[in-house]
Structure 1
């Protein structure tokens, strides 16, 4: 079957107007950059890539990660119907450029390829966890149909997705930007 020949979600749902409800945001509460964090839960030894099919160290085998000190937030009790969920446009995006926003300790400015042929700018408050240069060339996941929002005078057109958790008996928060296989093309839609 050729890509785009049949898409059950697009053919079975009516396009809905965008909701005006607030979207939850993830605030960084300060933390250590994984690269220089000696207390990191991830074993950054050089054999990680070999243990995982040699993905250039991108993925770490679960048995090499200690999750015993991780506290996960409870799941939402409120259910979301499929039509509401379908309004969100999740896309794979390629990081073309990433720079720290001047006069901001938290914000990184991403220039992204979203598959449309026009660069997309998204700002994300993750500088406590990542240095800009380590994200260039990565494939990330973004929600692309949020209303634009100005931060530090720069319009952000979407939101990058991250996984966030706290450590037990601590206020420290860990944030992991969702990164996917670079074989996924820019603009690929997530279902």
Structure 2
């Protein structure tokens, strides 16, 4: 494992956001949803493609808090432009479980 210093870590903008909308993304190569996530004042609403269909339905995602990287450059994924990376972890079966705060915190809060 490569080590990093504090300055490297601080370059990554990991922020809390609230999912406003989630829908199927049939144009994606792997099963995915398009998420609209509100990262609060100063950042706003960003879209993301998320391969989380094995553990979540669109209805149960709306209103949930997630942790996202908001300072990656936008990436074209099929017909949509992904503007952030919603974070998660693979379980033993390869399904993605979201990385989420365990308490309610305001959208835009930075992980430190």
Moved over 6 A (4+): none
Match of 2:41 among 116, 124, 133: 116
C-alpha deviations, 1:108-163, integer Å up to 9, x for none? Answer: 11111101363211111222332111110000100100110011210101111102
Q: Which residue of 2 aligns with 1:98?
A: 22
Does residue 163 of the first structure (1) align with residue 89 of the second (2)? yes
- Identify, as 1 or 2, the structure richer in strand: 2
Match of 2:63 among 133, 137, 140: 137
Return 5+ residue gaps in structure 2 as ranges: none
Q: Which has the larger radius of gyration?
A: 1
Q: Report the Cα distance in structure 1 between the residues aligned to 2:102 and 2:6, rounded to whole angstroms.
A: 27
By relative contact order (CA 8 Å, sep 6+), the higher-ranking structure is: 2
CA RMSD in angstroms, aligned pairs only: 1.7
Would you say how many aligned residue pairs link Structure 1 and Structure 2?
A: 110
TM-score (norm 2): 0.87
Return 5+ residue gaps in structure 1 as ranges: 1-76, 167-171
TM-score (norm 1): 0.53
Q: Which residue of 2 aligns with 1:190?
A: 111
